[in-house]
Structure 1
Amino acid sequence: MNILLTGGLGYIGSHVTVVLAEAGHHVIILDNLHNCKIEVLDRLAKILGNSPAFIQGDVRNQLLVESVLKDQKIDAVMHFAGLKAVGESVQKPLMYYENNVGGTISLLQAMKSCQVKKIVFSSSATVYGIPQYLPLDEKHPTNPESPYGQTKLQIEAILQDLARSDQSWKIIALRYFNPVGAHESGLIGEEPNGIPNNLMPYISQVASGLLPKLKIFGNDYETPDGTGVRDYIHVMDLAEGHVCALNYLYNNESEFSIMNLGTGAGYSVLELVKLYQKVSSRKITYEIAAKRAGDIAACYANADKAAVHMVWKAKRSLEKMCEDSWRWQSRG
């Protein structure tokens, strides 16, 4: 099939590109290069043996998206394009709503115009907000704590309304937990601009000497070692989940579905630090800092629904996540 990946040169999109191409699909990437580098295209070519089709552009340009859908004879879309920094979204909410929600509406308008009605949407576990129970399943109430999370939830609502209005649409929203790691080649991985917002890239930059030390926010949570617990999922397990989601869209009658993608296990900040020290053979200096407003003790997934309906399950261990992250971070 011909699959359009919006934001396909980003962290998640680039790994999905590899898995889709290896599964025999033809991948077309649309990316405005806002939060990624064009060099990723060359790295993908080294992994795959040839470069995926690439168009530089923005999903908010509806006429451009329509031309891509028609010219490339697109069968389905995977939508990764969007801003994703929680803290930045609090400071710049209008930018996040305009880019994430506005961009998705533009994309859907183009898809409707071109009669391309299959889409896999990159959502987030941030839509759940503070857990009322654990593990988090798809029926858990949604109450996002940030404008970023609100944009994801609003897009899910738009997709659900669209599917209800026209049963020829087939839509799945994948709620990611905490993607980490990198492709085992070490050629692609998470490459944040500036100071990393996420824990593992921060740890990896401390291990490599790019940052002096890690701040651990709070060590008196009601968890085994007092530090926050999260569900970390290897980015390649996540990528494989998208191929399963695509198969699900083509083989099931459901117009709209939501699936968690996580391991179902929680690991603490200190567990991750200790394991990364072991894998990298580097000392990771850290200090305990005050808890941040809105931080929670624990958050991890119930991913049974994806296992049953998409026949998908995360396979890679936390140690594998750390190994692949370090290989990427310590590349020449």
Structure 2
Amino acid sequence: MRSTWKRLFVVAVAALGLAAQADAAVGKTKLKVGYAPGGGSVLTFLAQDQKLFEKEGVEVELVQFASSSDGLNALNSGKIDIGISFGTAGPLTFISKGSDFSIIGGHLSGGHPVIALPEKAQKIKTIGDFRGKTVATPRIYTADIVWRGALKRAGLDPEKDVKIIELKNPAAVLEAVKAGKADVGIGASSILLKAKESGVAVVGWSNYFFPQHPCCRIVAKGKAVKEDPETYRAFLRAILQAEKIKTEKPELAVDVNKRYLNLDDKMAREFTLEPHQETHADPNRKGVTRMWHDMKSIDYVEGDIDLNRYVNVDLYRDALKELQRRNPKDKFYREAKKRFDRQN
């Protein structure tokens, strides 16, 4: 009898251990994903809507933030696990100040509008036309870095040749332009619809300053990525599949953005299919490196870092490799591999 109870006790303890392990595994697959409303979130919206995260074994909770800095502060403090649409300059700025961030993928490249009132639009055609202008720009946003880097390359001094009004977010930039406080504003994809609705003119795009520049990167805590890489690989597999859907079924992407961002038909179509916005899950290490050098050239950041410590391309490579294994004849994944080899 004693031996029977002993065996039952061992079985019970083992069962409790397995249950605890199962609970821990379930816990690891839950991710709080932060985003800012704008063009940089559609792949995650698609993955959520089409149950791609669920398919890959990841439970995602979406958390919206008003600005990139708010979202990155939340990531830094552990309130969220991933940021998807907080730019490139923002994460790099946090990294330069000691944040344990890891860039593991991408969402948006290019696509940030340069805006002005219609009566001033004809005065802004080239980078040289910014000389003598009052420019509103959102501090630590990617478009701000791209524009300042272009000024530098054109031989203009941002401190002397341009009057810069630094604001917290692109929405404040739009208001400054509308109120006539700035001749021109360096915007972001998040204000594109409001700019068009309010009659503000789009006079250029960030792509003009830095073609195909990286913007919304997928950012996570470096320690979390090291401790549980498979969860982040699974997240990227879902995002890659969402990119395939957007490429092959753009109307579905329009519908998803319409529902997730509460847009009307016309705005959803313009926003989702805007040709200056490119949505790729690729981390684009080369583009991120160039962005870092631009930030240093305009004294945006000080010191130096080894970017290889903060840009993890292995997770994306593994995610893509697995999808190619599942779909050996799929042209989309072959093209994604070519892009990866070119950009990383």
TM-score by length of 2: 0.32
TM-score by length of 1: 0.33
Q: Which has the higher contact order (CA 8 A, sep 6+)?
A: 2
Between structure 1 and structure 2, the one with the greater Rg is: 2
Higher strand share: 1
